[in-house]
């Protein structure tokens, strides 16, 4: 019997294939197990430490052969496996003097990790987001102690659709797109790690679809990553749709690198990158420049601030890939989900609303200025057109000070990230102080809707199609126009959040007044293919429809109904 499941589509595509379920979680070890008298605390402690080391070694081994995104996640998870707080807590529970008496090695690890997870959850923000990592490591250590295979992506001789409640970072980081052809999860959200990775890999994906983690292994299903639907026992019509998408996807592979609407109106399509390697791939994909250089990749996984020379080399590698083209550099976006031991305070009760981004200059002055001088020095060695923007700008006064810091460093084009609603609401004043703005729709949506972007239950709120978010985008564009008229200087507004990679939403954003879009290189061809079918006037009509909609779902469906090209292209 055919079954239909509905969730949030986070990466477009229509595919057909057998489901393989992620292994169910490792079962909780029994409490109050009698421990043989010849089993010593020392031997149990050695087992725990050896198991943790084995898990760490296995994760590091996988990291050595993983792509950059996977490598970083696996290395971070490997560090968690040998976390002293976790191991020491487990060892203490092995002792007969521990509250409740001695535990087995498996039970001690289980309880210790639960305590650590609860502590992190109580801290909120970034620390709460690490709970999944702790529980993932717990499962791996307990499996190692039991002599069982580590939990992870199932093996398969042929391609399959991976189903799960949600995916741990260490699992999503090692996906092989040649085998895993789509992702479906009952949990997660549109900005979860799983969703972002699916978009980066170009995998059709649906998250927050209750029940998909119970689909029997081997069941053939049809996944529509744009509509957010999963269907078992697919009809012949759906089979034809999947075949058509496979053909159409290949025709979208080439992007000319010169994007325009149907009436000739130019809309540059740029790429989001983190390293020189990313930049080279983006240039090869036809990106017209870089709309977001995430400089934090130069700072992460370090206990000390990188030197100015190290930063010059890192930024220069990106600039070299785009001679005579625009490269928008975001200054260090530390804090919240990207803590740095030398810069941020891990004890903040709510890091998402704390000292992050530009605000770190308040508590650690000097880091931002050194970074700006490094960017300027790298610019002097290359031919890229370098623009620089600060994240988490909330007021015109902050924008003015950042512009002054850029001028002191010799950087000519300062800008701001609009991700705090206050910046959108006062865009005219903010943009009077700087040269441009870029909308970070991931955080703007999170803050506008007061919905943590990592939480599956809030997925419908945390959606950039929310009319409230679209109104903030329009306010920003309108404010930019006002500032431009007052200063007689153009004030371009771009979007570098995940919203830009949605072809339908891209058309709406242009209609709202956005002038450039920046996205994963994999999204360039699809966005370009849709935009070239609409005029600016048509984009403005679509934007008006989206703004007037009562909900995100209605906004999306109405716009898609007026863009039949999406179905033609399988998007």
The set of catalytic residues is 193, 496
The C-alpha angle with vertex 285 and arms to 276 and 271, in degrees rounded to 5, equals: 60
Beta strands in 323-452 (DSSP E): 326-330, 385-390, 414-418, 436-439
Instruction: Report the C-alpha gap between 279 and 386 in whole angstroms.
Output: 14
Sign of CA dihedral 183, 188, 189, 191: negative
* CA dihedral (475, 481, 487, 489) positive or negative: positive
**255 contacts 269 by C-beta, under 8 angstroms:** yes
**Cα–Cα distances in Å, from 397 out to 373, 400, 435?**
22, 5, 15
Write the DSSP assignment of 32-87 as a string of letters. Answer: SPPPPTT--HHHHHHHHHHHHHHHHHHHHHHHHHS-HHHHHHHHHHHHHHT-HHHH
Closest Cα partner for 432 from 410, 451, 415?
Answer: 415
* Strand 385-390 to 326-330 pairing: parallel
Tokens found for residue 399: 């924008």
How many degrees, rounded to 5, is the angle at CA 406 between CA 404 and CA 407? 65
Here the tokens at position 404 are: 């002054």
Cα-based torsion angle of the residue sequence 503, 504, 507, 513 in order, rounded to the nearest 10 degrees: -110
Among 279, 286, 280, residue whose Cα is nearest residue 254: 286
The string of DSSP letters for 176-196 reads -TTTEEEEEESS--TTSHHHH
| CA pair distance 495, 403, nearest whole angstrom | 20
248-252: long-range contacts at Cβ-Cβ below 8 A with a sequence spacing of 24 or more? 248/568, 248/569, 248/570, 249/13, 249/570, 252/525, 252/526, 252/529, 252/569
Helix axes 84-92, 105-123, angle to 10 degrees: 130
Report d(CA 565, CA 65) in Å as an integer.
Answer: 39
DSSP 8-state assignment for residue 335? B
Say how many C-beta atoms besides its own lie within 10 A of residue 257's C-beta. 16
Q: Which helix (H) or strand (E) covers residue 467, if one does?
A: helix 467-487
């Amino acid at each position: 019997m055919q079954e239909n499941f509905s969730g949030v589509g986070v990466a477009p595509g229509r595919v057909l294939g057998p489901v393989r379920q992620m292994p169910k979680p490792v079962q909780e070890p029994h409490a109050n197990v009698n421990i043989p008298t010849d089993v010593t605390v020392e031997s149990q402690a050695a087992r725990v430490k050896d198991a943790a080391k084995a898990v760490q070694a296995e994760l590091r081994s996988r990291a050595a052969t993983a792509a950059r995104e996977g490598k970083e996640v696996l290395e971070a998870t490997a560090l968690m496996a040998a976390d002293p707080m976790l191991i020491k807590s487990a060892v203490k529970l092995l002792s007969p003097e521990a509250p409740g008496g001695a535990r087995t090695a498996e039970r001690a690890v289980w309880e210790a990790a639960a305590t650590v997870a609860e502590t992190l959850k109580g801290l909120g923000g970034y620390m709460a987001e690490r709970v999944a990592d702790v529980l993932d490591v717990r499962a791996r250590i307990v499996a190692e102690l039991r002599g069982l295979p580590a939990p992870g992506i199932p093996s398969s001789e042929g391609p399959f659709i991976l189903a799960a409640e949600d995916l741990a970072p260490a699992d999503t980081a090692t996906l092989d797109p040649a085998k895993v052809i789509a992702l479906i999860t009952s949990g997660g959200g549109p900005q979860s790690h799983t969703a972002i990775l699916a978009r980066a890999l170009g995998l059709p994906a649906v998250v927050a679809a209750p029940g998909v983690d119970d689909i029997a292994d081997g069941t053939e299903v049809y996944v529509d990553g744009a509509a957010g639907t999963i269907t078992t026992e697919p009809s012949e019509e759906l089979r034809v749709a999947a075949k058509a998408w496979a053909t159409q996807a290949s025709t979208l592979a080439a992007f000319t690198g010169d994007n325009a609407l149907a009436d000739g109106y130019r809309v540059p399509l740029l790429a989001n990158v983190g390293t020189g390697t990313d930049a080279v791939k983006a240039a090869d994909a036809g990106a017209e420049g870089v709309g977001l250089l995430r400089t934090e990749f130069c700072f992460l996984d370090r206990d000390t601030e990188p030197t100015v020379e190290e930063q010059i080399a890192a930024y220069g590698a990106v600039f070299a890939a785009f001679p005579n083209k625009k490269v928008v550099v975001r200054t260090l976006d530390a804090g919240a989900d990207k803590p740095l031991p030398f810069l941020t305070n891990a004890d903040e009760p709510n890091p998402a609303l704390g000292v992050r981004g530009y605000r770190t200059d308040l508590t650690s002055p000097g880091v931002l200025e050194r970074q700006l001088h490094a960017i300027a020095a790298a610019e002097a060695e290359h031919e890229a057109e370098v623009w620089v923007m600060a994240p988490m700008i909330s007021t015109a006064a902050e924008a003015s000070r950042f512009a002054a810091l850029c001028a002191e460093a010799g950087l000519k084009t300062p800008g701001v990230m609009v991700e705090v609603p206050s910046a959108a609401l006062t865009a005219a004043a903010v943009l009077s102080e700087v040269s441009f703005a870029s909308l970070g729709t991931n955080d703007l949506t999170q803050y506008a809707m007061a919905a943590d972007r990592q939480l599956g239950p809030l997925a419908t709120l945390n959606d950039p199609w929310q009319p409230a978010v679209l109104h903030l985008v329009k306010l920003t564009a309108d404010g930019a126009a006002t500032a431009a008229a007052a200063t007689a200087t153009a004030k371009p507004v771009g979007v570098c959040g995940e919203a830009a990679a949605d072809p339908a939403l891209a058309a709406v954003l242009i209609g709202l007044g956005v002038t450039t879009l920046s996205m994963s290189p994999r999204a360039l061809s699809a966005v370009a293919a849709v935009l070239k079918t609409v005029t600016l006037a048509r984009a403005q009509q679509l934007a008006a429809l989206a703004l007037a909609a009562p909900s995100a779902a209605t906004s999306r469906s109405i716009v898609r109904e007026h863009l039949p090209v999406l179905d033609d292209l399988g998007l």
